[in-house]
Structure 1
Amino acid sequence: MSNNRYVRQTILPGFGNDGQQKLKSAKVLVVGAGGLGVPVLTYLNAMGVGTLGIVDADVVSLSNLHRQVLYTENMVGQAKVLAAKNQLHLQNSDTEILVHHTFLTVINALEIIRDYDVVIDATDNFPTRYLINDACVILKKPFVYGALHSFEGQVSVFNYKGGPTYRCLFPEMPGPDAVPNCNEHGVLGIVPGIIGNLQALEAIKIITGIGEVLSGVLLLFDGLSQRYQRMNLKLNPENLSIEQLATTYEFDCETPLTSIDAKDFQKLYDSGIPNLLDVRTDKEFTRQHIDGAKHIPLGELKDRVGEINLDAPVYVICQSGIRSKKAIVQLKELLPSSEFVNVLGGMNHIDVYALAH
């Protein structure tokens, strides 16, 4: 490709051809090809980062499209890593795109991350963030953090040149319902684009050495007021001493659960309405629900357990499968002899036109 491709940034004082060459030589891993990952991948690819790795096990769904603007309607059902790779290749054929069609796990994290210079956390859950953090500390890799909540977002850079880590911000993993992700609580489509672009900017600064990296600083963004705030973070030196990954980074890992895939649940529904318990909020249930479901919000479950029909297996559903798992943990403590089944992926993976109001 002609050097004219990048001329608008190579003419920048302080960046120049040297900065462009650093981008070309860089290898960046993006964990998550969703709301945050899409703008990160799009801009790093366009700006000339030489190698981009993508970790994601999900497929494109219709509900992704309002914020994951790399994908199109005809890609629904395709693996995100493959859809992203094809789109990014059309945008910049010079970039080497490496796909890891898998979840990041204790088993593969060190092996995958080891080959990259910078890791970008574009996930939406606490367990994976702690896994990324610990693997990056062990391998001495900086990682760029981003998170979303409704109309808000936050960005920081962890483990950069001995700076604070993610565990300096959150020493212990919060509970599974402490901060709902966008699948549970929703997100305005433009907000992931803003936060993802800020993450991409931090990666560019790390790679090229320009500007001031957000190490030791948590940047908070409020989309409704268009305000940014900065919060300083202090390093706890003990958080740099991690030498091995934990055995697991899952919520409630000690509690085995019976589960059913959303597609199999739909087949079950077609043969007769199952004994379904919906543990979402009143607002969520009113907006959209499955005909015949018993509705008891998670926070009211212990007080209303007597309303549940225990004559048949109880299928438990929420928006994405997180709260339903926690509900089953509570129910098994209260009703150890009853049978509960978690609907994996929740309402996000259900054909709402066929089943829901």
Structure 2
Amino acid sequence: MLFHLDEDLLALQEVARDVALERVGPHAALVDEEGVFPQESVDALVAAELHAVSIPEAYGGQGVSLLGSVVVAEQVARVCATSQQVTGANELFAIPLLLAASEEQKQRWLRPVADGSCLGAFALSEREAGSDVAAMRTRAVRDGDGWVLRGTKTWITNAGQAGVYVVFAVTDPDAGGRGISAFVVEARDEGMSFGALERKMGLKGSPTREVTFDDLRLPADRLVGAEGQGLRIALGTLDRTRAVVAGQAVGIAQGALDLALDYTRTRHQFGQPVASFQGVQFMLADMETAVRASRLLAYAAAEAAEVGADDMSLAGAAAKCFASDTAMSVTTDAVQLLGGAGYTRDFPAERMMRDAKITQIYEGTNQIQRIVIARALTR
């Protein structure tokens, strides 16, 4: 798929595809089966400098556009969505800093993520504040020149593995959404603890835990941006990373389509390849059409975010919503096309189907995305 990709992005796509096939894919089944952290895959992505491509060169990164992040996400998720999720959280950490942090803060915390010496994490959600972000209860209370952080975040990717976390907390309970601020917490800070690993349907090797802050003291320089800007920073981040989630969903769907094509071409029934039957061909045609449309929406959303277009929120919501619905439908159809084999763990179709489901839920459920789209249209 060449549309929108210049020579540099095509080269990046090829490198990401090769690394994914040769050094990430071989570990995917074991990572899922045993629910283990994909260390070999993460090491391979770090070695190839594919673990946080959008961090600017000024902070030790590759300085690739958001579209480049989407391209890499697709290629990695095509073989292992877990590995893409782990490294994708680096950008969830980095973007809030790029949007609002001081130069000193960027140098201090983006460089270790860029060089691969630590992973990043993004701590926004809570048990009672998922889609309703402004209902969060985690508090940051002023204490002299610093802050004291109390509360619990949930569904946090890389919790326990990450070295740095962007944490959102209420600093002014009377100000509603305008009373939320963003902070950086380091893994070595005293007062942070982690819950047990969540027992998830998919992405089993991506560590997801609750993070609890028990009177964790933060110096003043941990505040990112101005006090009260946290919700704006969080939503601005998600406006951008939803394009990457769309890329992840496209990768999962493309991987499932690749598998279904290979299987139906080589399996014979009634004396001919399964792919020769019109009913199967129509399914494959619909799968291909949806994947192509999803890819273009993901690319368009990345470009809209890159230039700060007025419709970037709508574009990101539309891409994430359509691509994740496509990932779910295409992986389901892939399982169907493989028949009994698709229902076994001998083939990756069922893993892809389980992994696809979360793309419809995180970074805003698809119901929330439809609200974002509808509000943009009727505003």
**Which one scores higher on RCO, CA 8 angstroms, separation ≥ 6?**
2
TM bucket (normalised to shorter chain) is under 0.3
Structure showing greater Rg:
1
TM-score by length of 1: 0.24
TM-score by length of 2: 0.23
